[in-house]
Structure 1
């Protein structure tokens, strides 16, 4: 199924590129930039999580809706990354120049009119718009309950991202993921959308509304473990202020306590999976998935 997600992404972007290559060569350049960024995405956490939740719920692996939903999630995440890079003035994304940086460099090389930085930022924002539009095109085919989850997720993510930016501007943003551990709110812009929403979408596509609550409980514990791992290991969500906080707070003993907390959260997620009615073999798979995800920085 994940191979089919890759094929869906490539096919969608290739079709758009062929369409615009003859209609508007400049427009085709925007699609090329988006396709390059999508192609270098290696983790595919959201598609992987959705497919896992879908198959664990007994979903038909041959059905196209889950593939479309997984591809849509990847495009939505790409949109968020592009816009986040513009806001943060990030230089790199996935090992290549961030889109606004590469477009600004193109402007400078060609000696075009106007300010290179503004050109780069505006064209990157347009690429994010394009990724979001293509994601919505795929999601438009989803059945009612799954589409409603998609729609709610989009709104929550926009509002949550704004809340995060506002807290940072007000010097209220705390890199320690305490809120995630105690019970994350709907405004989280990281693992909340990488775990909870894809799992619930998978259950909805498999027509298993009874899994909504168990998947929610599983995701909350796993999300907290993932965020805590990101803080400890210095994931991309945690910049220099998080590094400073780690140096101040985390001596060997405190780091050991945090590691034990991660294990407890993963165990809690695994117990939830073990007590849930899932397709044969998928309780064990969800338990193993929790261990793998908590080992990766957020």
Structure 2
């Protein structure tokens, strides 16, 4: 399934990075004409978009190639616009979750709160940081639209891509709200966690970028069912792996403190499986500790031991393997252009085999 000499993400990354740098550079000049005070906000954006795995642009590009699209420069611009949507989602997500870090750096709202503190301004630094981050996220959402529309693809192609492009933006916001609701009402079922995962991650990370690529190439109708059969299970497997890493991941690899998802009280599948499979006493204590921002290393380690000992970790790994198999099966479709099939197979590995 994998190739030792080719990475479908690395193939796309240089062009995507160049498009983002050029677009944001042009917008930086116009924004600074409004006021020099905006420079730290733009620096925060540079820090955000400078990292990331570029998975969404990669799925968009290989969705395009799988639909018979050629190596057209304009498709990189359209694909790169998804990174601005991702920046919006992450900035807002960190505000909602009150996260301290993102990719090993201060979260955007923390970074802008620190600006307030350094400057000696009046008022609440934390509130300033949150408000500024929300505005920057909104700016990214606006620029995502502008960048997509400015790509040098035929007007008919861009119009054909509007439906998946618009649905992607709608679904990620709806999924984020469902996530908030489930955390607030303390839903502990696998079914509730999977519903959030489907809209907040699977459709947004894999399915809709693939649909966008197919639509830009004029083959949305024929390929959408195939890309859904591949994209939904792969997107769920991707998020399941992310949830495992949120509990067991190395902070050097994840950029987040160990056990941060437990402190935030995220209602993930691995949490739901733990509460379902653990003994009554362990499940009760686990539920009580979940979402406590003051969890110390000892408490986190105990919760990890319950997850592993109950069989919940193994259950999640089995789910990942099953979803990966479903995604791989979908690639057997004759609708996918042969040149993209191996790249899409490699993307399964890239999305799901990140290290603990």
Q: 2:26 aligns with which of 15, 19, 24?
A: 15
Q: Does 1:275 align with 2:298?
A: no
Structure 2 CA distance for partners of 1:149 and 1:84, relative to 1, 3 Å: same
Structure 2 CA distance for partners of 1:231 and 1:111, relative to 1, 3 Å: closer
Contact 2:44-2:111 at 8 Å conserved across structures: no
Contact 1:156-1:187 at 8 Å conserved across structures: no
Q: Does 1:214 align with 2:226?
A: yes
Superimposed CA distance per residue, residues 154-173 of structure 1 (whole angstroms, 9 cap, x where no aligned partner): 22222221121012111125
Superimposed CA distance per residue, residues 16-58 of structure 1 (whole angstroms, 9 cap, x where no aligned partner): 222233442112332222122111x131111111112111222
1:90-169 counterparts in 2 under 5 A?
A: 90-141=99-150, 143-169=158-184
Secondary structure of the 1:198 match is helix
Secondary structure of the 1:195 match is helix
Q: CA deviation at 1:70?
A: 1.5
Q: Does 1:291 align with 2:349?
A: yes
Give RMSD over aligned pairs.
Answer: 2.6
Structure 2 CA distance for partners of 1:46 and 1:297, relative to 1, 3 Å: farther
Distance in 2 (alpha carbons) for counterparts of 1:25 and 1:222: 44
Structure 2 CA distance for partners of 1:294 and 1:2, relative to 1, 3 Å: same
Contact 1:226-1:297 at 8 Å conserved across structures: no
Distance in 2 (alpha carbons) for counterparts of 1:165 and 1:247: 27
Aligned to 1:223: 235
Distance in 2 (alpha carbons) for counterparts of 1:249 and 1:96: 28
Contact 1:139-1:147 at 8 Å conserved across structures: no
Distance in 2 (alpha carbons) for counterparts of 1:254 and 1:248: 8
Aligned to 1:198: 209
1:65-104 counterparts in 2 under 5 A?
A: 66-104=75-113
Aligned to 2:281: none
Distance in 1 (alpha carbons) for counterparts of 2:31 and 2:346: 44
Aligned to 1:30: 41
Aligned to 1:57: 67
Q: Does 1:170 align with 2:185?
A: yes
Secondary structure of the 1:234 match is helix
Runs of 5+ in structure 1 lacking a partner? Answer: none
Contact 2:175-2:196 at 8 Å conserved across structures: no
TM, length-normalised to structure 1: 0.87
Secondary structure of the 1:217 match is helix
Aligned to 1:46: 56
Distance in 1 (alpha carbons) for counterparts of 2:323 and 2:108: 36
Superimposed CA distance per residue, residues 252-283 of structure 1 (whole angstroms, 9 cap, x where no aligned partner): 86644543442232122112102232223322
| Count of residue pairs the alignment pairs up | 292
Q: CA deviation at 1:88?
A: 1.2
Runs of 5+ in structure 2 lacking a partner? Answer: 1-11, 151-156, 248-255, 275-303
Distance in 1 (alpha carbons) for counterparts of 2:197 and 2:102: 26
Structure 2 CA distance for partners of 1:185 and 1:91, relative to 1, 3 Å: closer
Superimposed CA distance per residue, residues 62-118 of structure 1 (whole angstroms, 9 cap, x where no aligned partner): 240x22221211100100111111111111112211111111111112211211111
Structure 2 CA distance for partners of 1:233 and 1:252, relative to 1, 3 Å: farther
Structure 2 CA distance for partners of 1:163 and 1:179, relative to 1, 3 Å: closer
TM, length-normalised to structure 2: 0.74
